[in-house]
Amino acid sequence: MAAVPYASPNIHPSRWVFVFILATVLLTACAQVPITGRQSLHLVPESELLSLSLQQYSDVLKKSQLSKDSRKVAEVRKVGNRIAKAAEAFLAETGNQAALKNYRWEFNLIEDEDNANAWVMPGGKAAVYTGILPYTLTETGLAVVLGHEVGHALAEHGNERMSQELLANMGGMALSTALTSQPQITQQLAMAAFGAGTSIGVLLPYSRLQESEADHIGLILMARAGYDPRVAISFWQRLNAAPGSRPPELLSTHPAPETRISNIKALLPQAMGYYRPAGK
């Protein structure tokens, strides 16, 4: 994953030690993304990331108004748990049983009609905002959203983004050290890295590659959960057509609409191979 720079004879020996250590760290901190097989950077220990995720999730729920609409809440939890079950089955089938211990799924619906968004933190703590429901329309439409967001969690994009931020803005500082020396900034970066940064006015963009990966994984997961993945096309078309000059947060850094739809259409044959309607 990491290439060692060309060895110039003019570089001081001490710098070579740093370069060697950095290259070694980058090479040994790679993880493979499920389904796509891409190598990604994971510098943050899973235990530290999960602990921070739980703390941040608790803070979000305390500051938010949870929906009291029992029907909508039940639907979010039903769809979320079916997607989560499909994700766990996939991990078990692919020899990643060890990763199962990291997930403690929880799905909540937050009352916020102006926020067309949803996210799943590392460890499976999830939130859906009521503002996305006019676009999902159906249980299957909701499965598109939660499949995509669980896809981010399964690919560990939160760890990857947090690792990138620690390297870029904190000199590669360890998460535990960053939390001690710069707690507020680090917690804000974590919230944004986990996709929940809109509540604090910060949102680290997922890369287009990460978004495409989440689309890919999400299609497979929703199909395995018994939801028709073809519905993803109409959902993204509705969201892309949302009124206003500012797109919904769920679209803030996503691929161009035409590119996304084209990519999804290309992935549908693979996803349909996993699709079995629920109850059949």
* pLDDT tens track for 122-170: 899 999 999 999 999 999 999 999 999 999 999 888 788 877 777 666 5
Whether 7 is covered by a domain: the verdict is no
Domain count, the chain: 1
Given a contact cutoff of 8 angstroms between Cβ atoms, the answer to whether 274 and 246 are in contact is no
Whether 19 is covered by a domain: the verdict is no
Distance CA 206, CA 87 (A): 21
Confidence at residue 243, expressed as pLDDT on a 0 to 100 scale: 75
Whether 8 is covered by a domain: the verdict is no
* pLDDT tens track for 28-66: 356 777 777 778 777 777 888 888 888 889 999 999 999
Confidence at residue 25, expressed as pLDDT on a 0 to 100 scale: 39
Whether 22 is covered by a domain: the verdict is no
Confidence at residue 51, expressed as pLDDT on a 0 to 100 scale: 87
Residue of higher predicted confidence among 258 and 175: 258
Query: Is 149 in the active site?
Result: yes
* pLDDT tens track for 193-241: 666 654 433 344 567 788 889 999 999 999 999 999 999 999 999 988 8
Confidence at residue 79, expressed as pLDDT on a 0 to 100 scale: 98
Distance CA 152, CA 211 (A): 8
CA 203 to mean position of chain CA atoms:
13
pTM metric for this prediction = 0.77
Whether 147 is covered by a domain: the verdict is yes
pLDDT at residue 19 greater than cutoff 50: no
CA distances from 192 to 195, 203, 249 (A): 5, 5, 12
Confidence at residue 211, expressed as pLDDT on a 0 to 100 scale: 86
The enclosing H or E element of 184 equals: helix 183-193
Catalytic pick from 75, 88, 149, 211? Answer: 149
Domain hosting residue 174, numbered range: 46-272
Given a contact cutoff of 8 angstroms between Cβ atoms, the answer to whether 129 and 117 are in contact is yes
Confidence at residue 260, expressed as pLDDT on a 0 to 100 scale: 86
Distance CA 241, CA 208 (A): 20
Whether 71 is covered by a domain: the verdict is yes
Q: Give 3-state DSSP helix, strand, coil % of the chain, rounded to 5.
A: 60, 5, 35
Whether 37 is covered by a domain: the verdict is no
CA distances from 103 to 53, 109, 119, 153, 214 (A): 11, 19, 15, 9, 17
Whether 16 is covered by a domain: the verdict is no
Give residue 106's pLDDT band: very low, low, confident or very high (50, 70, 90). very high
CA distances from 190 to 172, 206, 236, 254 (A): 15, 13, 27, 20
Given a contact cutoff of 8 angstroms between Cβ atoms, the answer to whether 202 and 195 are in contact is no
